[in-house]
Amino acid sequence: MDAQYQYFVEGQTAIASFFTTNKIICKMSESKSSFRVVVIGAGVTGLVASHCLYRAGIDHIVLEKRENVAPPEGASIAMYPHGTRVLHQLGCLKAVEEACVPTKRWWHRGPDGKNLMDNGFFLHLEDNFNYNYILLERRKFLEILYDTLPDKSRIRTGCQVADVEHVADGVKVTLSNGEVEAGDIVFGCDGTYSNVRSMMWEYANKMTPGLITTKEKTSYLTEWKAVVGVAPAMPGGLGDRDMVSVSDKGRTFISFSQPDYIYFFFIFQLDEPFRFPKRANPNDPTAEELAETVLDHPVSESMVFGELWKKRLRGDLIYLEDGIMEHWHAGRIVLVGDAVHKTTPNMGFGGNCGIEDVAVLCNNLNRLLLSCKGRKPSTVELGQAFEAYKTQRMPAVKKVAELCRLVTKVQVWQSPWYKFVDTWVFPLQADKAISNQVSEIIRAGAKLDYVDDSGCFSGSMPWIDEKETGSARTLVSSSIVLGVAAVFMLAFQGVRFNTILPTSITG
């Protein structure tokens, strides 16, 4: 058994033999029909949760405080093959494919806009998994998740949650208008500034004083902010299906192009980082004011950022949190996605991580309910299922968070070492090396174990959760770095991401 497979197996809980031999979509059954989940938040994770719970035959309601599940905010969302594998299981993938084209090449540039690297990263991902990296507008993605729901009546908008109370063998969710939604458990899918998380902390410390420490409550660190937006497609070196990254000291520009639109992120390092629950200074520069400082910054050899900003369809200022909470559940409340872990956007893993969370959580919940055979599970049994979910997801989340954090630091040249890696080591890697390294994370991705996944992608790199065949090749896990740079660098073991980096970077 190789190291990657052993790593995967250790993170898994046993899957009921019924589902290993009979991959079917579960129907509503007597054993689960009386159990009800209250999902709070109808973003990516909340809508995916509705899909997954429906297919497990688990009753649920989704509460969203906004009037619209797809507000015109943010820029794009990316899906790696492990994320799209779950979308395939949920019947959403065809609509997503029709809304975008696969990304083709990765252009990496210096602060003068001149090219440092032209990499076939995305094409090599397609070879590894027989499916590419896809990217589309976040709002459109939310619309698709909603439109493809088998039962839209389970989504309630305009529902601000005021309180979550544990009652005898269940939960009572009170809305700001006084209405009450009763259920057996709560999924906290309400994002980075999660109110459900605060309610969970209160309950946890009430039951076990001091369990949630101030250190954990300040886990999310904000070191960067970003001007993000959407602009119409335009000539100027950003392509029509490419990624462009531009590095500079203290800032980095990233864009993803589609035939009709360009999605952009201009990321800036903060002078004074801060931790949650502290929020940004209201006197900080606005998106418009921050953009003004980089209007003349090259983003290619023939375009400056101001040209893109001038034609923007929308642009916002966001702050980028980074961190992982220690406790993911308490009592009958369990947290999902950004409510419990947050990464920087440079590698585009955030949405995928949230989807994996939902899949693993629903797998564990589904197995528990089946084992109960009509009996409602106790709070202790639910806690065990929630802990199994956390145990499965934590190693992968840590690996992704460390990778994304590292890439951000490299691209903003946070130190001379990072600049050296970005301008010399990174471009000198073999063309396939970067995609093969990231593929080691992708191939360990989670999926639903109770939904048929036939017709899923099967490329030259096998999924870890599938039996490897003799025809599947084993990819080299270490990259080849040319020239004298290798003398100065050591493998970055902390994230199992084998880019050659100096030991001083890992601190």
Q: Which residue has the higher pLDDT, 417 or 429?
A: 417
pLDDT score, position 43: 97
Secondary element (H or E) of residue 262: strand 261-275
What local confidence, expressed as pLDDT, does residue 2 receive?
Answer: 43
Read off the pLDDT of each residue in 433-452 and give the average, rounded to a whole number.
Answer: 93
The amino acid sitting at 309 is W
Check pLDDT > 90 for residue 23.
no
Residues 6+ away with beta carbon under 8 Å from 365: 37, 56, 58, 185, 385
Which residue type does 61 have? I
- The answer to whether the beta carbons of residues 187 and 194 sit under 8 Å apart is no
Name the burial class of residue 436, with classes exposed (0-12), middle (13-18) and buried (19+) by CB atoms within 10 angstroms of its CB. buried
The predicted model gives 292-311 an average pLDDT of 97
Sorting pLDDT into bands at 50, 70 and 90, what band is 184?
very high
pLDDT on residue 162: 97
**35-218+323-452+461-506 CATH, one of 3.40.640.10, 3.30.559.10, 3.50.50.60, 3.30.70.2200:** 3.50.50.60
Contact 384, 365 (CB under 8 A): no
Residue with tokens 């872990």, as numbered in its chain: 341
* Cα separation, 476 vs 437, whole angstroms: 9
User: Would you call 312 helix, strand, or coil by DSSP?
Assistant: coil
In sequence order, the 6+-apart residues with CB closer than 8 A to the CB of 360 are 389, 392, 393, 446
Q: What is the dihedral of CA 8, 365, 48, 212, to 10 degrees?
A: -80
Round to the nearest angstrom and report the end-to-end CA distance of the chain.
31
Yes or no: say if 410 and 506 are a contact pair by the CB < 8 Å rule: no
Range in 271-280, 316-325, 498-507 with the lowest mean pLDDT: 498-507
What is the identity of the amino acid at 495?
Answer: V
Model pLDDT, residue 453: 84
Ranges assigned E (strand) in 130-220 = 134-137, 155-156, 161-167, 170-175, 180-183, 185-188
pLDDT band at 39 (very low <50, low <70, confident <90, very high): very high
Per-residue pLDDT of 91-144, as tens digits, reads 999 999 999 999 999 999 999 999 999 989 999 999 999 999 999 999 999 999
- With cut-offs at 50, 70 and 90, classify the pLDDT of residue 469: very low
pLDDT digits (tens, 9 = 90+) for 336-357: 999 999 999 989 999 999 999 9
Q: Mean pLDDT, the chain, as a whole number?
A: 87
Alpha helices in 257-378 (DSSP H): 287-292, 305-310, 350-372
> Which residues does residue 407 pair with via DSSP β-bridges, in sequence order?
none
Alpha helical stretches, state H, 338-432: 350-372, 379-411, 416-420, 426-428
98, HSE (Cβ side, Cα atoms, 13 Å):
5
CA distance 162 to 195: 9
Strand 59-63 to 155-156 pairing: parallel
pLDDT average, residue stretch 321-348: 96
Please report, as a single letter, which amino acid is at residue 16. Answer: A
Asked if 164 and 199 count as a contact pair (C-beta separation under 8 A), the reply is yes
